[in-house]
């Protein structure tokens, strides 16, 4: 959407002097299906926010890129034409907060507890604060579990990636990850992925099972490898000027709703992804492969140079802090 249209859209949500004021409207935009963990969490926040504020707030949830595509969302938030988003953490690198790309480092997290040790600790808090000069207030992290790889040929060995066009988010870390595997990274909006896979514009992708299933990506990918090489998560963010301008007796219950929703979102991610994997397997359209320990170790060794290569971009201190919090141990 052109900048001028975004500015006009932002103006529409501002109160007009002399008008009777109704409920405060929070437009919450996201790019995935309502049935995903993020979609369900957005709906839960809507319910809690409206209940906790006694109807003084109305939350309008817009899933599946109904309002904006991936590239437009952040600008829309900064301009105030939407008030709340839950973008993946990879979205903040292109915004200039490159430290968030630490979350894209392959095999950084050995399990979900290691991920939460980072997001719920000092580093997670510090990273959210870095968004404020961009006009963004970071409120919480929502987990969506470990990522897997897919393509129309089996991906067992590192050499299987050679020459494949693999869709990624706009992250320099993810770009380096795919290149380390011998693939050709292709930055693409999530909303465009199904058609790109269907037409062969790209050969494969990475993602979490719940997104593969709800977006029907499994229909156009013959093979999936349960690599658990990366972790997908979101930051719940709001327009800072809007948030700071809320009456204190409205903002406080909204903050409570955010905290309660984060607990809910983090609790359902694992269950939703496990159910999605079962549904994908039951469809018979995609073959699932679980790497052997030897295969997994080969992938890890191939991808470890990405960590060192990204020190200058992400920050050596940021990576070291993530290592300590997550209990990261490099493969032998």
**pLDDT score, position 1:** 43
**pLDDT score, position 13:** 44
Query: Is the model more confident about 46 or about 2?
Result: 46
Domain boundaries, the chain: 3-14+21-325
Architecture of domain 3-14+21-325: 3-Layer(aba) Sandwich (3.40)
Give first-to-last CA distance, the chain, whole Å.
48
**pLDDT score, position 266:** 94
Q: What span, in angstroms and rounded, lies between the C-alpha atoms of 190 and 196? A: 10
What integer is the mean pLDDT of 250-264?
A: 98
For 20-37, b/e burial (b = at least 16 CB within 10 A) is: eeeebebbbbbbbbeebb
Tens of pLDDT along 4-45?
344 434 433 444 333 347 899 999 999 999 999 999 999 999
Q: What is the dihedral of CA 328, 329, 330, 331, to 10 degrees?
A: -130
**pLDDT score, position 22:** 86
Radius of gyration of the chain (CA): 20
Tens of pLDDT along 52-73?
999 999 999 999 989 987 778 9
Element (H, E) at 250: helix 248-283
Q: What span, in angstroms and rounded, lies between the C-alpha atoms of 254 and 243? A: 10
Q: What span, in angstroms and rounded, lies between the C-alpha atoms of 65 and 81? A: 14
**pLDDT score, position 251:** 98
């Amino acid at each position: 959407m052109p900048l001028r249209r975004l500015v006009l859209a932002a103006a529409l949500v501002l109160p007009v002097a002399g008008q009777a004021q109704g409920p405060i409207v929070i437009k919450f935009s996201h790019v995935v299906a309502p049935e995903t963990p993020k979609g369900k969490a957005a709906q839960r926040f809507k319910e809690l926010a409206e209940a906790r504020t006694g109807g003084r707030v109305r939350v309008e949830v817009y899933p599946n890129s109904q309002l904006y595509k991936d590239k437009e969302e952040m600008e829309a938030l900064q301009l105030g034409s939407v008030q709340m988003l839950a973008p993946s953490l990879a979205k903040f690198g292109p915004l200039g907060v490159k430290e968030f790309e630490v979350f894209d480092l392959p095999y950084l997290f050995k399990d979900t507890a290691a991920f939460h040790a980072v997001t719920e600790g000092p580093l997670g808090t510090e990273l959210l604060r870095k968004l404020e000069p961009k006009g963004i207030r970071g409120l919480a992290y929502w987990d969506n579990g470990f990522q897997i790889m897919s393509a129309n040929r089996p991906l067992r060995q590192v050499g299987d990636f050679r020459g494949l066009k693999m869709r990624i988010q706009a992250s320099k870390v993810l770009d380096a990850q795919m290149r380390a595997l011998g693939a050709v990274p292709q930055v693409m909006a999530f909303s465009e992925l199904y058609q790109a896979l269907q037409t062969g514009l790209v050969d494969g992708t990475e993602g979490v099972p719940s997104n593969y299933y709800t977006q029907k990506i499994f229909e156009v990918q013959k093979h999936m490898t349960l690599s658990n090489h990366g972790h997908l998560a979101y930051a719940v963010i709001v327009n800072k000027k809007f948030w700071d301008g809320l009456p204190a007796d409205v903002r406080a219950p909204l903050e409570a709703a955010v905290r309660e929703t984060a607990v809910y979102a983090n609790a359902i991610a694992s269950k939703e992804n496990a159910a999605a994997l079962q549904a994908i397997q039951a469809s018979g359209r995609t073959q699932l492969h679980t790497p052997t320990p030897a295969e997994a170790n080969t992938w890890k060794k191939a991808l470890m140079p990405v960590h060192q290569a990204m020190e200058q971009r992400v920050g050596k201190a940021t990576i070291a802090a993530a290592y300590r919090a997550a209990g990261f141990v490099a493969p032998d």
